[in-house]
Structure 1
Amino acid sequence: MSLGKLPPELYLMIMGNLESQGQLKSLSSLSRTCPTLYELGNPILYEASFNHESKICAALGWAISRNCTGISMKLIEYGMPVNELFQEDAYKYKRLLTPLAMAAEQGRTEIVRQLLNVPEINVNVICAYEKTALHHAVISRNVEIVNLLLAQEGILIDAKCDAGLTPLSLAVSGGNADIVRLLLAQGPLVDPDSRSNRGWSPLFIAVEHEVDAEVVKLLLDTGRVDVNFIDPVSRFTPLIVAVQNNLPDIARLLVSHPTIDPNLGAHNNQVVPIATAASRGFTEIVRILLSHPQTDPDRAIMARSRAILQADIWGHEEIVSMLLADGRVGQESRQLLQGQRILSQKPCAWL
């Protein structure tokens, strides 16, 4: 005889006994044996989840992970505590999250809507690693969820996680221009030049992560970032990183900024933008740097480190010619190049 053919009263009695003994796994297994029993047993399982101390929010977490909007709606209607932290099981290192943070990170748009309609919802609950739901929404790269959260009154838009990263910093590191634009549209509520615990600004993060140039432009257009920021560890500027990584589109944006110092070097001018570009053969970057009226092509800590000499040492003839055509290359550099060419037995007919 099939279990589904038992009288409902008998099945409910069995379920009640299992629930009273705390045997929720057995209860759940039984309810899944057939559709009839599942329909009868689910309300008891929901109620049992609320009353079972180790299962706070676990049922809602299960519904979110599987994007079961119908079940999540029922759980919310039954009064599931939406602001409680619960331990997820989806990761090797288990984290404590609120249902909202979990739904935001997994991109569950409709469940986020459901949760935001709960009057007592708190969008600023601090979860694992001191991230808020907005941090997790940015991680999911879900523009619609970010929009939903930004529309909530009192949301902390510029909160920092344990690494000192704001939602904007995370959006920048992910190269998501649409979310960066949304966050910057919040105006003075967002600091586009905030510092992480490592001391990095969003602009430096953008260049270091080699994101799309549009993200860099959005940050520069705020007029509130330090384009000459110096990383406290490497002592590099965003321009030096753009040069080293051969990012001409980003270098062009940085060089065109009205407050850029195109000559700012790192480690007492041991690393200079134009000399670095010349030594590596980055012709387009050299051209971009020379387009700035204040660029000094002879800037270097030692004579041998000057751009024209480095380009010659590494055989970048096009860059040598470009620098020779620039009137800012001094006579001393030209003479040093001539001597270097004579020693290496290279032709130097132009001098």
Structure 2
Amino acid sequence: MNFLLQVYTSRSLDNHPDSADWTPLGYATFCGKEQVAIDLLLQLQTRSNVPNINHYNGREWIVLYLAISRGYIELAKLLLIHGADPTLLNKANDETCLHAAVRSGEIKLVEILLTHLRTMDRLDMLNLADNYGFTLVHQAVQDRFPDIHNLLLEWGADATCNTIYGTPIYRATQSGARRIVTILLMHLKGMNNIEHINDTSKIEGNYVTPLQGAIFQGHTEIAHDLIAHGALISNMEQSRRKSPIHTAVHCDRWQMVEFICANYPSSLSLKDDYGSTPLMYASYSGNVRMVRLLLNQPHEATFIVDPNGRTAFYYAAAAGRLRIVKLLHQYDSSLLNMSDLYGATALSLATRRQQKEVVEILIELPEIDYDLLGISGKNVISWLITVGMIEMDTNTIKHNQVALAFSRLTRSSNDYTEPWCDICMLYFDANNRRWHCKLCRGGYFDICQQCRDRDAYCYNREHELVTSTELAWNGNISGDNASDDDVSDDHESDFSNQDEVIDASNHTENPGSVRLNVAQGYSGTDGTSEDKVNRSNEDGTGGGETQGNDIPNNSSEDFDVSISHAKETCA
């Protein structure tokens, strides 16, 4: 302290800034020498006005902000008495002195500043956000100071403000600050604003509710508190339209799923933006324990279909989830020969996804009908040849030669890390041209050139298709749960290189092609379909397709692609 006093003795009486733009008072405070700063201030107070008391030291901070940031209560009091202005913003990030006081954790400092601001009639500073989008209540949540948070609310801080960091209650639920959540719930209830617990927060492009934030982070008790105060189980986040139970299943929040199943069983039939149910999420990601839990519920969800007419059994088969395929088949064997929108069965999809183990198990089941033909006119054996899993002529294959055929399998299960055509479901070659719809299935709908040559289209012919040689990722349900297999992460698609556009309104349909319309089981332009399919499903019509949290959108059977043409596609 003596050193600093000696350094600034010659200038202390005028508090003049040096060449680096630091005043003696500001430099002493910045260096953590509170008593030195107080002594300097006491020398300066002999004048009517303390010079440079609101000077921006280092061109960024006033001395009051520096004192508050260090929690110097006595120095802050003296500075306010001698003219320091608490409404001036920190030039580095637009923080106020109140932000610094909240972050310091010193509730006394917050009270001093609030009292002073009231005398200035500037309590509007309570709801000012810095350039990062943090208000005072956000800051109190972030630093977990419930007493300060409660004080701010008592002085009139807005508990419903929604910034780039979301609402205060979203931040509290997501961070696990249960005491602050309780304070906010009581405050909102007292202000008759409890409905704000269902407000969505836009976080990194996703619209999320407080309940979903709590579930995602695994804060089960907080989630229960929110539900008890009116948080909606049916409330969907807006980016992928996932409900809380979708999030719970996707994140493997076992206790939360048990709670929702016990109290809100109808939520098992909720669909996300791709039409996927919670059971489809669990089936695709390989979470055997979760599938068992969902199957044990009285609300039956096994026959709910997505916009492509696929059940959870399809997703398990396409993803190669052998244990779940067996489990679902044991639950109801009629799933085995059910056809989707394009006439494909789960076995057909597993074949085109090159899931060797699943195909071997399914094709040996006595009730399997491997003569079922999709819209392409191909059966399972034809598809095995098409994708290169066996090498023999279809004319020589008899039903009693299936075992022989499988002894000559040439490919192992595919890890489905490549993008595929959503019509024929065959993989794109490295430089294969593809057509893309930005509307169907959340913007993840791709068609290969061969299918386009056959007049294949997306779900709605009024949609515009763009073409590119870039490969889009169809998306999948990431398996970051407790699953029996690992699933690769989602890859974002990039459609920046668009060199051609099709206007479907002027498109002339090939009479020999198959259109997706109501007659085929697709209900319209919004991607919706019938919730249930007839279990016999002899005509191959029925629901639609799904895609969940990260489910890959796989269309099924090709439209009218011949066997030879499909061979060319995959050669």
Common fold: TM-score over 0.5: yes
Give the whole-Å Cα distance in 1 for the aligned partners of 2:185 and 2:107.
28
Q: Report if the CA contact (8 A) 2:167-2:201 is conserved.
A: no
What is residue 333 of structure 1 aligned with on the other side?
Answer: 399
**1:196-207 map, 5 Å:** 196-207=272-283
Specify which of 295, 301, 324 is matched with residue 220 of structure 1: 295
What is residue 113 of structure 1 aligned with on the other side?
Answer: 182
Give the whole-Å Cα distance in 1 for the aligned partners of 2:184 and 2:99.
30
The range that moved more, 242-251 or 220-229, is 220-229
Deviation of 1:287 (Å): 2.9
What is residue 322 of structure 1 aligned with on the other side?
Answer: none
What is residue 160 of structure 1 aligned with on the other side?
Answer: 236
Specify which of 236, 241, 261 is matched with residue 315 of structure 2: 241
Q: Report if the CA contact (8 A) 1:174-1:211 is conserved.
A: no
Seen in structure 2, the aligned counterparts of structure 1 residues 25 and 338 have a Cα distance that, compared at 3 Å, is closer
Higher fraction of helix: 1
Deviation of 1:52 (Å): 1.8
Deviation of 1:298 (Å): 3.9
**1:5-44 map, 5 Å:** 5=39, 6=41, 10-14=78-82, 17-19=84-86, 22-25=87-90, 28=97, 41-44=109-112
**1:262-341 map, 5 Å:** 262-266=336-340, 268-269=342-343, 271-277=344-350, 280=354, 282-283=356-357, 286-287=360-361, 290=364, 294-301=367-374, 305-307=379-381, 310=384, 314=389, 332-334=398-400
Unaligned regions of 5+ residues in structure 2, if any? Answer: 6-35, 43-73, 392-396, 408-571
The answer on 1:3 being equivalent to 2:37 is yes
Deviation of 1:68 (Å): 3.1
Seen in structure 2, the aligned counterparts of structure 1 residues 63 and 103 have a Cα distance that, compared at 3 Å, is same
**Which letter does structure 2 place at the counterpart of 1:193?**
S
Seen in structure 2, the aligned counterparts of structure 1 residues 252 and 339 have a Cα distance that, compared at 3 Å, is closer
3-state DSSP class of the match of 2:272?
coil
RMSD: 4.0
Give the whole-Å Cα distance in 2 for the aligned partners of 1:337 and 1:160.
47
Specify which of 177, 197, 202 is matched with residue 124 of structure 1: 197
3-state DSSP class of the match of 2:268?
coil
What is residue 442 of structure 2 aligned with on the other side?
Answer: none
What is residue 90 of structure 1 aligned with on the other side?
Answer: none
Q: Report if the CA contact (8 A) 2:99-2:139 is conserved.
A: no
3-state DSSP class of the match of 1:114?
helix
3-state DSSP class of the match of 2:144?
coil
Seen in structure 2, the aligned counterparts of structure 1 residues 335 and 105 have a Cα distance that, compared at 3 Å, is closer
TM-score by length of 2: 0.45
Q: Report if the CA contact (8 A) 2:245-2:278 is conserved.
A: yes
Seen in structure 2, the aligned counterparts of structure 1 residues 60 and 39 have a Cα distance that, compared at 3 Å, is closer
The answer on 1:183 being equivalent to 2:260 is yes
TM-score by length of 1: 0.70
**Which letter does structure 2 place at the counterpart of 1:213?**
V
Give the whole-Å Cα distance in 1 for the aligned partners of 2:80 and 2:324.
67
What is residue 319 of structure 1 aligned with on the other side?
Answer: none
What is residue 231 of structure 1 aligned with on the other side?
Answer: 306
**1:81-96 map, 5 Å:** 81-82=158-159, 84-87=160-163, 94-95=164-165
Deviation of 1:214 (Å): 2.2
Higher relative contact order (CA 8 A, sep 6+): 2
Unaligned regions of 5+ residues in structure 1, if any? Answer: 88-93, 317-330, 342-351
Seen in structure 2, the aligned counterparts of structure 1 residues 144 and 14 have a Cα distance that, compared at 3 Å, is farther
What is residue 140 of structure 1 aligned with on the other side?
Answer: 217
Give the whole-Å Cα distance in 2 for the aligned partners of 1:116 and 1:226.
34
Structure number with greater Rg is 2
The answer on 1:55 being equivalent to 2:131 is no
Seen in structure 2, the aligned counterparts of structure 1 residues 223 and 298 have a Cα distance that, compared at 3 Å, is farther
Seen in structure 2, the aligned counterparts of structure 1 residues 28 and 183 have a Cα distance that, compared at 3 Å, is same
Deviation of 1:198 (Å): 2.7
Q: Report if the CA contact (8 A) 2:390-2:405 is conserved.
A: no
3-state DSSP class of the match of 1:112?
helix
Seen in structure 2, the aligned counterparts of structure 1 residues 212 and 31 have a Cα distance that, compared at 3 Å, is closer
